């Protein structure tokens, strides 16, 4: 392995985890709305949503492990688990740490969904929007690819897609239809 292997792995896994998080948020919006009613298949959509959640968690784990293994910036576990503990770009890194904990909480409560009221689970799950933005800011301001034209284009497309979908969801809240076609509130 080359001396920059871990740094390249950290960058790549960070970007992939952010893209998985983007897909996860978009998929969640598809589940919560009738954005694509002709393609709506709740069983496979929910399975895909769960799969994207675990992919996000997995790539975040790879990202963190690669950062610890890399010698360029000496990240320790405390730097990656405690917000504002890192001396390297403390605010952007803290945003990533907070986003990581947000994803962990949403995933954990999703696994234990039956132990929560629907209202509580939903409120926790809605923090995914904030978590997505924290992760996006983390990647832009702590990553080294922010000036890369492909990264910038990808950022605009993904952020635009999430904004469009979130606005659509807000505008159509309360207009969800049950399988029989009757209106029910979300």
* DSSP state letter for 183: B
User: Which has the closest alpha carbon to 166: 137, 132, 141?
Assistant: 132
105 within some domain = yes
Structure-token pair, residue 8: 């390249």
Structure-token pair, residue 174: 């309360």
Backbone angles phi, psi at 158, to 5 degrees: -70, -45
Q: Number of folded domains in the chain?
A: 1
Q: What is the pLDDT of residues 162-180, one digit of tens each?
A: 999 999 988 887 665 545 4
Q: What is the mean pLDDT of the chain?
A: 89
Q: What is the pLDDT of residue 36?
A: 61
Residue 160: Cβ within 10 Å count: 10
Structure-token pair, residue 104: 């962990």
Q: Which structural domain, as residue segments, surrounds residue 127?
A: 5-172
177 within some domain = no
184 within some domain = no
Q: What is the pLDDT of residues 109-164, one digit of tens each?
A: 999 999 999 999 999 999 999 999 999 999 999 988 888 999 999 999 999 999 99
169 in Cβ contact with 177 (< 8 Å):
no
């Amino acid at each position: 392995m080359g001396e920059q292997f871990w740094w390249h792995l950290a960058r790549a896994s960070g970007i992939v985890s952010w893209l998985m998080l983007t897909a996860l948020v978009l998929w969640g919006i598809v589940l919560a709305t009738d954005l694509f009613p002709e393609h709506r298949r709740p069983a496979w959509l929910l399975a895909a949503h769960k799969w994207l959640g675990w992919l996000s968690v997995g790539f975040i784990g790879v990202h963190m492990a690669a950062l610890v293994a890399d010698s360029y910036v000496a990240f320790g576990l405390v730097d990656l688990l405690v917000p504002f503990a890192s001396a390297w770009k403390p605010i952007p890194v803290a945003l990533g740490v907070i986003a990581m904990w947000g994803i962990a909480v949403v995933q954990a409560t999703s696994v234990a969904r039956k132990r929560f009221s629907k209202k509580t689970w939903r409120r926790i799950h809605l923090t995914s929007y904030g978590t997505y933005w924290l992760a996006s800011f983390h990647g832009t301001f702590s990553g080294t690819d922010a000036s890369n034209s492909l990264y910038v284009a990808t950022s605009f497309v993904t952020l635009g897609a999430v904004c469009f979908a979130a606005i659509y969801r807000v505008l159509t809240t309360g207009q969800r239809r049950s399988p029989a076609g009757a209106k029910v509130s979300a």
